[in-house]
A and B are shown apart, each in its own frame.
Chain A
């Protein structure tokens, strides 16, 4: 009885929220925030999440685009067009914060973000507008198209030259000496390249066979 009587006169421990608020320590895990300018799109946080609440979408940047550097000195090579965190799924474990190489995802001590609809807890951090996303995608496609085209051209040119060499190499020695020579050197380099390839393949096979034999021997010796 005396205990409760004494407690009657002690000050209460309750904090009158919202007029008074407790001071929270600095490491407190309340809400995730992303500094999207620092994100390099490595997706380490996405992989580290145990409940899969982070969704990241990236677009490769073209060679002539300069996305700049993050504040930690990393060079950015990817456009981050989607960075969604579903805070309704998040279990506030901080496993996404640790792997980030640029410290762009972190916990902030904001706990007053209740919403009436659960879908409103899906936070999107990417700041690319749909036009920018389209632009980046279009640029990337164009570049890839270019590359493909160039590769196709080069392949066709090589083929044509090979055919030409076959036809023109037997007839005209002098006139087309330069070209033949060029063709020959082309052919020879081609033949060399082929031969080298063959040689390498043979080597690989030999190595594989040797390793297999070793494993068999080891197994035999073990058992």
Chain B
């Protein structure tokens, strides 16, 4: 992909710039679509219709209208707030999310950077998200924001452990941290003769690993049932209380980008990434991107489905779940997978 772009653009720097904008474009278009999809899915699950008018067919332009409205809002910075931190926090959050996209292979030809520590890099960069949340909570000069931010940070940091443990279980099988190689290892239909060679079919413990990873992923992305940070409708709005207009818009964008990021990671690690499930049929660079995004969207849809079904966990129950159940289970699972790998 980069080579193709280099042939179009006059200088290499411009080509690299253009190349780095591709995931941004994908994220933006995806966010427009995903917010609309969320409203539609939630509406139909509740017997309603969702957006219907804006733009004609089923209100597809609703998000664009909301975006335009948000841009026009007054940019309020609280009087006693720490101005610099307050203004930087949303952008750092988005940068953290966006920076992780460099390591995800969207197709066999598209990978931001072929470095060998792909998945490790993703985990590291997404921890900056919790940093930006604390920044936001602290800089708002609001007791409740700070409280919400601390809780959120605690949640994010705690749930990184099961995420790492389950990812490790995949890495023990693949033997490499580079996501492109992980995906290439899952190509072909050798497993059981007809099933694709995906990680999830590798052993029954992989299924458990995937379930644990999915739950931990929900907590990382602050989705229900772990959405105490974003919808503290019990008391006040959490770390986002003092943000309005486009700054809040960027927090929302970060949340959806995070959802997509983690869905794509799940798809890459467990479900074959850009490989087609039918083997060589519908395979190729462009088809790869299609499969990747399709798998990502399926997980995003499941996240939305869960959001509108389950109630919210209380903070202490959340931490309870993580430290007493998910972490021991994920480590035990890791050991079992390693044993399986050694035996078979």
A residues with a Cβ closer than 8 A to B are 1, 3-5, 7-10, 12-14, 16
B44 and A7: CB pair below 8 A? yes
**List of A residues within 8 angstroms of B306 by Cβ:** 1
Contact partner, A13, options B45, B48, B308, Cβ 8 Å:
B48
B308 and A14: CB pair below 8 A? no
A-B CB proximity, top 10 nearest: A4-B45, A4-B309, A12-B49, A14-B49, A13-B47, A7-B45, A8-B44, A14-B48, A8-B45, A1-B309
**List of B residues within 8 angstroms of A1 by Cβ:** 305-306, 309
Kindly identify, within residues 36 to 70 of chain B, every residue whose CB is under 8 Å from any CB belonging to chain A.
41, 43-49, 52
CA distance A9 to B52 in the complex (A): 17
A12 and B43: CB pair below 8 A? yes
B44 and A12: CB pair below 8 A? yes
**List of B residues within 8 angstroms of A16 by Cβ:** 49, 52
Beyond known contacts A12-B44, A12-B47, A14-B48: 8 more, CB 8 A cutoff: A7-B44, A7-B47, A8-B44, A8-B45, A10-B47, A12-B43, A12-B49, A13-B48
B residues with a Cβ closer than 8 A to A are 41, 43-49, 52, 305-306, 308-309
**List of B residues within 8 angstroms of A10 by Cβ:** 47
Can you list 24 A-B contacts (CB < 8 A)?
A1-B305, A1-B306, A1-B309, A3-B309, A4-B45, A4-B308, A4-B309, A7-B44, A7-B47, A8-B41, A8-B44, A8-B45, A9-B44, A10-B47, A12-B44, A12-B47, A12-B48, A13-B47, A13-B48, A14-B47, A14-B48, A14-B49, A16-B49, A16-B52
**List of B residues within 8 angstroms of A8 by Cβ:** 41, 44-45
**List of A residues within 8 angstroms of B49 by Cβ:** 12, 14, 16
Count of A-B contacts judged by CB separation below 8 Å: 30
Contact partner, A5, options B43, B48, B52, B305, Cβ 8 Å:
B305
CA distance A7 to B43 in the complex (A): 10
CA distance A5 to B48 in the complex (A): 14
**List of B residues within 8 angstroms of A7 by Cβ:** 44-47
CA distance A5 to B302 in the complex (A): 10
CA distance A137 to B318 in the complex (A): 81
A3's nearest neighbour on chain B, judged by CB, is B309
**List of B residues within 8 angstroms of A12 by Cβ:** 43-44, 47-49
**List of B residues within 8 angstroms of A5 by Cβ:** 305
CA distance A42 to B43 in the complex (A): 53
A9's nearest neighbour on chain B, judged by CB, is B44
CA distance A82 to B41 in the complex (A): 55
B50's nearest neighbour on chain A, judged by CB, is A12
**List of A residues within 8 angstroms of B46 by Cβ:** 7
CA distance A12 to B49 in the complex (A): 6
**List of B residues within 8 angstroms of A3 by Cβ:** 309
CA distance A4 to B307 in the complex (A): 11
CA distance A174 to B305 in the complex (A): 121
B233 to chain A, nearest CB (A): 20
A4 and B47: CB pair below 8 A? no
CA distance A7 to B41 in the complex (A): 10
Q: Which of A4, A9, A10, A13 has the most CB of B within 10 A?
A: A4
A193 to chain B, nearest CB (A): 85
A1's nearest neighbour on chain B, judged by CB, is B309
**List of B residues within 8 angstroms of A4 by Cβ:** 45, 305, 308-309
CA distance A151 to B309 in the complex (A): 87
CA distance A1 to B305 in the complex (A): 8
B161 to chain A, nearest CB (A): 26
**List of A residues within 8 angstroms of B48 by Cβ:** 12-14
B53's nearest neighbour on chain A, judged by CB, is A16
CA distance A3 to B305 in the complex (A): 11
CA distance A14 to B48 in the complex (A): 5
A5's nearest neighbour on chain B, judged by CB, is B305
CA distance A8 to B305 in the complex (A): 10
B308's nearest neighbour on chain A, judged by CB, is A4
**List of A residues within 8 angstroms of B47 by Cβ:** 7, 10, 12-14
A13's nearest neighbour on chain B, judged by CB, is B47
A15's nearest neighbour on chain B, judged by CB, is B49
CA distance A51 to B110 in the complex (A): 73
**List of A residues within 8 angstroms of B44 by Cβ:** 7-9, 12
**List of A residues within 8 angstroms of B52 by Cβ:** 16
CA distance A1 to B309 in the complex (A): 6
CA distance A188 to B247 in the complex (A): 106
CA distance A13 to B44 in the complex (A): 9
CA distance A10 to B48 in the complex (A): 10
CA distance A16 to B306 in the complex (A): 27
B41's nearest neighbour on chain A, judged by CB, is A8
CA distance A14 to B43 in the complex (A): 10
A16's nearest neighbour on chain B, judged by CB, is B52
CA distance A186 to B44 in the complex (A): 97
B25 to chain A, nearest CB (A): 30
B23 to chain A, nearest CB (A): 30
CA distance A1 to B45 in the complex (A): 11
CA distance A1 to B306 in the complex (A): 7
CA distance A5 to B46 in the complex (A): 10
